[in-house]
Structure 1
Amino acid sequence: MTPTNQVMMSALAQATQEPTGGIAGWAIDMMEKLGAPGAGLAVALENLFPPLPSEVILPLAGFAANRGDIGLISAIIFTTLGSVVGALALYGVGAVLGRKRTRSLLGRLPLVKLEDVDKAEDWFNRHGAKAVLIGRLVPVVRSMISVPAGVERMSMPLFLALTALGSGIWNTALIVAGYALGEKWHAVESSVGVLQYVVLAAAVGAVAWFVVVKIRARSSAGEKVK
């Protein structure tokens, strides 16, 4: 084990109070061997199988960037790409299998709760396309929101755009926080609730601003036609 790997293993153990082998050790090993793409791979799999939450992976990637092991911008880009790939896989499952068979499949996975799937489905039904964007900032819903989007065959370009935007916002917030805190990166996980609401409020505000701009543009165009 290299010095870098030892430091990150120790940091993870301090943050989670759990053994650093298995999936956790694998995620750290991927970041060390593959760099930023390794962080992206870990996030992609976290979307599908969540034994190691993104609230740990992303600040840890920020810490790695702080140490100079990976680039900060590349960490953000590759983890966001990983989020999109993982989301696209779940979208595909929902689109191919349909609601009933997808629920049956997910219900057999040891780390997935059907109530989480139902919560994401309810969120999607109430908020439509906005759910894919804002849902990326909400625990549990963050991963599962891709399933109802696939079942409903939401427009693929729109799904990918909203997923990339929402995931990019969330990933950037946690990675930058981990980068800024350095060796105290694990404080991000305990403060993620507050950070989540800050990011969520910013995202909702951005969506509202976009809608207002569009409405004003249409109103101005209508007045010019008259």
Structure 2
Amino acid sequence: MDDSENLNLFAQWAVTLMEVLGSFGAGVAVAVENLFPPIPSEIILPLAGFTASRGSFSLWEVLVWTTLGSLVGAIALYGLGAWLGAARLRRIVARVPLMKVSDVDRAEAWFARHGDKAVFFGRMIPIVRSLISIPAGIERMPVLRFAVLTTAGSAIWNSVFVLAGYFLGENWSSVERYADVFQLIVVITVVVALVAFVVLRLRRRRRGTMVS
């Protein structure tokens, strides 16, 4: 692609992969993006769709390889969660200030009730789409079920962005602006939730100290 010098670092890296490996390179880029959430799929996927629109490879190849790439990256993080395990997680949480082992118990109970939905819909939420694989591994969700839910959720997310890049053509980068707004909302929500958690936990600790 002769305009790659106008792209940011991540996009240039993805372009190089696709130039060398074809549509398989798009899958590799997505797999790496799953392992390192700061790499934005919101750039890689529309760029892959745009590249397909120029005839470098077919649209169906991009959709298949990017979905497989998502699955591979998710399986790797699932393995990390399985290695960590609930028992080791409890030992770690017990040493973290403001955290309690009972927090792990509540999280396990929540995941037991909503794990399927969390994995499926989590694949369509920035940042969460990578991290949701870790608790699935910790709780040892059956691998086949995890793979099916991950593949289904990833296929939807990937298709939206790949098709947007395919049909927008030279304007594929405009997708990133809307995706950035969505990601910002997610980040703000997470930050607010964390701040609220810390404030509530500090208040409870202060009350406990005053009572004692």
Give unpaired runs (5+ residues) of structure 1.
14-19, 105-117, 197-226
1-structure distance, mates of 2:111, 2:45: 25
Change (3 A) 1:103 1:126: farther
Matched, 1:25 2:21: no
Residue 141 of structure 1 corresponds to 128
Change (3 A) 1:51 1:103: farther
Matched, 1:166 2:153: yes
TM-score normalised by the chain length of structure 2: 0.71
Residue 60 of structure 2 corresponds to 73
2-structure distance, mates of 1:125, 1:169: 24
Matched, 1:7 2:3: yes
Q: CA deviation at 1:9?
A: 3.8
2-structure distance, mates of 1:102, 1:88: 23
**Greater Rg, structure 1 or structure 2?**
2
* 1:59–1:179 Cα contact (<8 Å) kept: yes
CA RMSD of aligned residues (A): 2.6
Runs of 4+ in 1 over 6 A off after TM superposition: 193-196
Matches within 5 A, 1:1-226: 4=1, 6-10=2-6, 12-13=7-8, 20=9, 23-99=10-86, 100=88, 124=111, 127-192=114-179
C-alpha deviations, 1:55-93, integer Å up to 9, x for none? 000000011011111211100100000000000000001
* 1:27–1:39 Cα contact (<8 Å) kept: yes
The percent identity for this pair of structures is: 55
Q: CA deviation at 1:102?
A: 11
Partner of 2:120, secondary structure, is helix
Change (3 A) 1:127 1:185: same
Partner of 2:126, secondary structure, is coil
AA aligned to 2:4 is M
AA aligned to 1:79 is T
Q: CA deviation at 1:124?
A: 4.3
AA aligned to 1:192 is A
Q: Larger deviation: 43-52 or 124-133?
A: 124-133
C-alpha deviations, 1:153-182, integer Å up to 9, x for none? 001110000000000000000000001100
* 1:179–1:185 Cα contact (<8 Å) kept: yes
C-alpha deviations, 1:108-136, integer Å up to 9, x for none? xxxxxxxxxx9xx7984662211110111
TM-score normalised by the chain length of structure 1: 0.67
Q: CA deviation at 1:101?
A: 5.8
Q: How many residues are aligned here?
A: 168
Q: CA deviation at 1:24?
A: 4.0
Give unpaired runs (5+ residues) of structure 2.
93-103, 184-212
2-structure distance, mates of 1:102, 1:38: 39
Partner of 2:123, secondary structure, is helix
Change (3 A) 1:172 1:9: farther
Residue 198 of structure 2 corresponds to none
AA aligned to 1:88 is I
